[in-house]
Amino acid sequence: MQIDEIMQRAAAAFEEYRHITPANRAAFLETIAAEINARREALIAIAHTESNLPVARLNGEITRTTSQLQLFATVLQEGSWVEAVIDTARPDNTPARPDIRRMLLPVGPVVVFGASNFPFAFSTAGGDTASALAAGATVVIKGHPAHPGTSQLVFEAITAAISKSGMPAHTVQHVTGEGNAVGKELVMHPLTTGVGFTGSFQGGTALLNYAAQREVPIPVFAEMSSINPVVFYPDALATQAAQLAQTFAASVTLGMGQFCTNPGILIGLKSEALEDFVTQLGTAIAAVAPQKMLHKGICEAYEKGRTRILQEKEVALVNESTAPAELEAWPVLARTTAAAFLVNPALKEELFGPYSLLVECADKTELIAVLKSLHGQLTTTIVGTQADTTQWKDVIAIQSTLAGRVILNNPPTGVEVCAAMVHGGPYPATTDARFTSVGTSAIRRWVRPVCFQNFTDDMLPDALKAANPLGIWRQVDNQFVR
């Protein structure tokens, strides 16, 4: 089918879907979750074949995916997400102030690109799709070519839910195919009103460039590239080296490092405690058994990248796991100095896999220079005791500006799906630091505010009617009330 026909259908479906009540949209999301659950075994089997991911992980990821759909259903049922703001009329003002009421409304059909590293949670029925459908947008999914069968089966679950819930037939559509041509056509189509993407820097910036060529600009939410710097402050290293080595070895190698929140750079001040920590961390990382990566392309890129980095000037291998079998990645810890890191841009690039680079700083000045040299990040982690956070307050203040999520004494892997989550950050972590792709506020990517002036109550959307029939939280004359 032609992309034009698909987008025409998505736009026509939007004209119906946008009028469907929040309660019915919620029921639709819950039905998608149920249909995915009904196919759980088949989904795990095919995803395991296509992605090499362990069965237990895939099972957990399906649960995360269905939970996300259910979470957005509860967001719709609760209803306050529309950010209703009401300024009532003030006829005695000069000039008289009319009644003005604002809420968020969906933008139109959006295009979602599935990610390779999360065949469920960031793919066909993942967070982008769930948040867009919750917002009232219709969705065209470009399935990831690394797991076409998984994507197709998830789409069948969505199709079944569309049918059972009585939604417009083309509320969600599925497009497959290798290469960039289809993606380009989808992003550039005049009826497309937004784009969601999780993947590589190259992929995300390509979509951004296509969007820049459009006659009418649209937002592109691409979550792309992050090395998630962790700073180990001195007192923590001196007192917790063994525990930290275990925690961060697990974080670096979790899922063979195939997470966008993988801690790719570990920063510390030159000291004996740092040497102790590095030795223990290297040993712990080397003890992790190699596992298969998602697909051949990712594995080859990891092998090449690892070889290239270890050949860079002043980069040394600390420790690594045993030699891997085919498609397997072996966990690696490398190290370098701040001086080398500061002059070599190659060391700041993300290497997707179970790898991390320790950067040793001679002093506070170097530590600050390293932090200031970093690009925008999804996360940054402060590892420090109370003594550290007091002593290094100024450095922590600089570190805290790097990312969308600033973490104290937790590994960055593991992204809670909750209201306060920001899974986003300054470029190149994402193309738009003002939004998150995980958590309930991900819904804001697919809406725009509209205000209604001097409307009669019967003409207003329910969310803005005087009696508040939906019982939602609203800001009325600058007070939050329900």
Would you name the residues annotated as active-site residues?
223, 260
Q: For the segment 367-386, give every residue that binds a copy of itself (CB under 8 A).
A: 376, 386
Among 51, 124, 431, 437, which residue sits at the site for a copy of itself (rule: CB under 8 A)? 431
Q: For the segment 305-324, give every residue that binds a copy of itself (CB under 8 A).
A: none
Smallest distance, a copy of itself to C-beta of residue 320, A: 28
DSSP 3-state assignment of 169?
A: coil
The answer for residues whose C-beta is within 8 angstroms of residue 193's C-beta and 6 or more apart is 107, 108, 109, 110, 137, 218
Smallest distance, a copy of itself to C-beta of residue 428, A: 8
**Beta-strand relationship, 316-320 and 332-337:** antiparallel
Among 254, 282, 405, 442, which residue sits at the site for a copy of itself (rule: CB under 8 A)? 405
Which part of the chain contacts a copy of itself (CB under 8 A), choosing from 128-136, 301-309, 317-325, 419-427?
419-427
| Contact status, residue 157 vs residue 408, Cβ threshold 8 Å | no
Residue with structure tokens 């083309």? 170
User: Could you tell me the maximum CA-CA distance found in the chain, to the nearest angstrom?
Assistant: 80
Nearer Cβ to a copy of itself, position 198 or 440? 440
Among 152, 310, 452, 462, which residue sits at the site for a copy of itself (rule: CB under 8 A)? 452
**How far apart are alpha carbons 8 and 14 in whole angstroms?**
10
Size of the site for a copy of itself (CB under 8 A): 64
Q: Which residues of 308-346 are buried (b: 16+ CB within 10 A; e: fewer)?
A: ebeebeebeebbbbeebeebbbbbbbbbbbbbbbbeeee
Determine the residue type at 466: A
Question: What are the Cα distances from residue 233, in Å, to 83, 200, 272, 306, 335?
Answer: 41, 31, 13, 27, 17
91 binds a copy of itself, rule: CB under 8 A: no
Q: Answer whether the bond into residue 91 is a cis peptide, omega within 30°.
A: no
Among 308, 313, 364, 482, which residue sits at the site for a copy of itself (rule: CB under 8 A)? 482
Nearest to 218 by CA among 210, 230, 226, 206: 210
Smallest distance, a copy of itself to C-beta of residue 168, A: 16
Among 436, 437, 443, 463, which residue sits at the site for a copy of itself (rule: CB under 8 A)? 436
Q: For the segment 460-479, give every residue that binds a copy of itself (CB under 8 A).
A: 473, 475, 478
Nearest to 466 by CA among 89, 81, 134, 105: 89
Among 272, 416, 457, 466, which residue sits at the site for a copy of itself (rule: CB under 8 A)? 416
Smallest distance, a copy of itself to C-beta of residue 420, A: 4
Binding map of a copy of itself across residues 95-114, x = CB under 8 A, - = no contact: x-xx-xxx----x-------
**How far apart are alpha carbons 337 and 370 in whole angstroms?**
10
Smallest distance, a copy of itself to C-beta of residue 451, A: 4
DSSP 97-129: BPPEEEEEEE-S-EEEEPPSS-TTTTSTTSHHH
408 binds a copy of itself, rule: CB under 8 A: yes
Q: Residue 374 has which token pair? A: 């970093």
Smallest distance, a copy of itself to C-beta of residue 194, A: 10
- Radius of gyration (Cα) for the chain, nearest Å? 24
Nearer Cβ to a copy of itself, position 15 or 41? 15
Nearer Cβ to a copy of itself, position 268 or 428? 428
**How far apart are alpha carbons 321 and 133 in whole angstroms?**
43
Whole-angstrom distance between the N-terminal and C-terminal Cα of the chain? 47
Binding map of a copy of itself across residues 31-70, x = CB under 8 A, - = no contact: ----------------------------------------
434 binds a copy of itself, rule: CB under 8 A: yes
424 binds a copy of itself, rule: CB under 8 A: yes
- Site of interaction with a copy of itself (CB under 8 A): 78, 80, 85-87, 95, 97-98, 100-102, 107, 208, 212, 216-217, 219, 376, 386, 389, 396, 400, 403-410, 414, 416, 418-422, 424, 426-428, 431-434, 436, 441, 447-456, 458-459, 473, 475, 478, 480, 482
